[in-house]
Amino acid sequence: MGRVRVRAEPLELILYQSDAGTARGQASVVCFPESIDDLSFAIRAANRHRVSFVARGSGTGLAGGATPVANSLVIVMTRMNRILEVDPVGRVAWVEPGVLNLDLTRSVRHLGLHYAPDPSSQQACTIGGNVGTNAGGPHCLSAGVTSTHVLAADVVLGNGEIVRLGGLEPDAVGYDLRGCFVGSEGTMGIAASIAVRLTPDPPETRTLLADFTSVDAAAETVSGIIAEGIVPAALEMMDAPITRLVEEFVGAGYPLDAEAVLLIEVTGLIGGVDAEVDAIRRVALEHGARQVKVAITEQDRMLLWKGRKSAFGAIAKVAPDYYLHDIVVPRTRLVEVLKRVYEIAAEQDLLVMNVFHAGDGNLHPLFVFDGSEPGIWERVYAAGDGIVQACLDAGGVLSGEHGIGLEKRDYMSLAYSADDLDAQARLRDAFDPDGFANPEKILPAGSRCGEMKRAPEGTWI
C-alpha cells in the first residue's frame, strides 16, 4: 500500500485514538485504502498478523464505535470518496464509503433528487459511517433512517473476502443480510461501495417555528401533531438554554425568552402542505404556543435549519467539553422523561441542554462542562447512567442513531436478555468468526452462551 498510505508514528497515532465520543483507545497502525482491493489487502494483512481492525470515517461518531482497542489497525476510509454511478431514472447512486453525506445531496441536486438521511453532522460525516451506525437525522421522521435508503453494499469481511449484500431488485431472495449489516458498526466487515436510494425533491416545503413558555407544552404539542394524523418531514425540539445559545451563535431568529421551541417541516403538494400548516398551527396554539411562524423565504428556512444543525458547535462558547447521549422513548412518555433528565442533571450539579428529534422520541441530552474540574467526569457518567435507566424504564431503547460502540456496550444487558445477546453474538460470528472486525464493541463480555461471566462479587461463573 506504500508508506504514504500507512502511518505508525506515535504522534500521528494519537489523532486516531478516538472518535468524537469520550472513549479513548490506542492504534498500532493507521492505513488509508483507496480501492476495494486495498481494503481487502489491509484486512488480510491484519489477519496474517492476528491483529484486529477498526474502520473509521470522518471520526464524527459519538459512541466510541471507531475507537481502536487492543492496538488495532485503524482503516481510514476517507480516501475512498468517489460517487461511482448515479441512475436518475432508477433513483439509485453507488458511492464509496468516504463520500460526505451532504456532498451526495449536492451532487444530485440538479436532478431534482436528494439523499434523505441528514444527520446534524452531515457536512462532515461519511456515508460509510452513517451505514455503520444506521444514522438518522431531523428529516428521518417520515423518510426513515439509513437502513431504509441502503439497497446493497459491497463488503469486505473480517477475513478479507469480498461479498455483495442486498441488491437493486425490489424483492431479493433469501435472508436480508444487507439489513443485518447496516448498523453493525464495522463488526461484520467494512463496506467498500454502497448503493443508496435517492429521493425526489418535494414540490412544496414549509418550515414552521413554534415557541412555548414551558417544555411540557412543547412536548405535548409533539404528541398532539402526530395524533392529528400528521407525520411531518421533521419535528425537532430545543429547550431554553440551547435555543438562546444557538440564536447568539447563528442569529436564526429564535426567540430568546422561550422555554422551548419546535422546528417543524412539512412537505408535499401545495394544497396538502397548506392544510397541514393550518392544522399544526391550530394544535400548537391549543397546547399553549405563544406564536407559530412560517419561514417566508428559502433563505429564512435555511437559516432556521442552520441554527438547529449548529447546536452542538455552539456549545463551545459555554464550556470546552460535552457529553451527548442518544436514547429513544415513546412520544407519549416525552414529558415525564424530560422532567427526569432535568432532575438527574440537578442531582449531579450539571448543566444540561436538550435538542432532539422529538417526532420519533429520539432524545439527545447534552451535558456541557469543563473536563478539568475535579470529579466532573464521575458526575457526568453517573448522570448518563441515570438517563439511560430512565429511558429504559419508560419503554425506550438505547440508541436511535449514534450506535452502541464502547460507550453504551455495557448497557446492553439492561435492554436485552441473555438469549437475545447470544443470538446477536452468533449472527456477528457468522460474518466474522475470528473476531478481528472491531472487537469489544456493541456486545458486552459474556454475551455468548458458554462464555465465562463475572459475578457481582467478582468471582467467575
For residue range 276-324, what is the model confidence (pLDDT) as tens digits?
Answer: 999 999 999 999 999 999 999 999 999 999 999 988 888 888 999 999 9
User: Mean pLDDT throughout 103-110?
Assistant: 98
Q: Quick one: pLDDT band at residue 459, thresholds 50, 70, 90?
A: very low
User: Mean pLDDT throughout 68-75?
Assistant: 95
Triad 197, 203, 206: Cα angle to 5°: 105
Q: What is the pLDDT of residue 453?
A: 44
Q: 164 — phi, psi (to 5°)? A: -110, 130
Domain boundary among 24, 48, 76: 76
CB-based burial, 319-340: b 16+ in 10 Å, e otherwise: eebbbbbbbbbebbbbbebbeb
CATH of the domain at 233: 3.30.70.2190
| Domain coverage including residue 13 | 3-76
Is 327 in the same domain as 298? no
Q: 181 — phi, psi (to 5°)? A: -75, -40
Whether the predicted pLDDT of 450 surpasses 70: no
Could you tell me which residues are beta bridge partners of residue 27? Answer: 72
Is 220 in the same domain as 299? yes
User: Is residue 446 situated within a structural domain?
Assistant: no
Q: What is the pLDDT of residue 172?
A: 75
Could you tell me which residues are beta bridge partners of residue 353? Answer: 366
User: Mean pLDDT throughout 437-448?
Assistant: 93
Q: Quick one: pLDDT band at residue 13, thresholds 50, 70, 90?
A: very high
Is 238 in the same domain as 175? no
- Over the chain, what is the mean pLDDT? 94
Q: What is residue 112's three-state secondary structure?
A: coil
pLDDT, tens digit, 9 for 90 and up, residues 194-225 = 999 999 999 999 999 999 999 999 999 999 99
Residue with cell 458526575: 379
Q: What is the pLDDT of residue 312?
A: 83
Is 214 in the same domain as 237? yes
Residue with cell 437525522: 137
Is 39 in the same domain as 88? no
Q: What is residue 408's three-state secondary structure?
A: coil
Query: What residue type is 249 in one-letter code?
Result: F
Total tally of structural domains belonging to the chain: 4
Domain boundary among 166, 200, 234: 200
CA distance 367 to 323: 5
69, 134, 198, 394 from 106: Cα distances, Å: 36, 21, 12, 39
Q: What is the pLDDT of residue 429?
A: 96
Q: What is the pLDDT of residue 417?
A: 96
CATH of the domain at 400: 3.30.70.2740
C-alpha cell at 318: 459555554
Is 326 in the same domain as 404? yes
Is 341 in the same domain as 300? no
**Which residues lie below 8 Å from residue 433, measured CB to CB, with a gap of 6+?**
158
Whether the predicted pLDDT of 355 surpasses 50: yes
User: Is residue 288 situated within a structural domain?
Assistant: yes
pLDDT more than 70, % of the chain: 97
Domain boundary among 76, 105, 134: 76
Q: What is the pLDDT of residue 454?
A: 39
Is 175 in the same domain as 284? no
Is 130 in the same domain as 22? no
Q: Regarding predicted confidence, which is higher, 460 or 115?
A: 115
Q: What is the pLDDT of residue 211?
A: 97
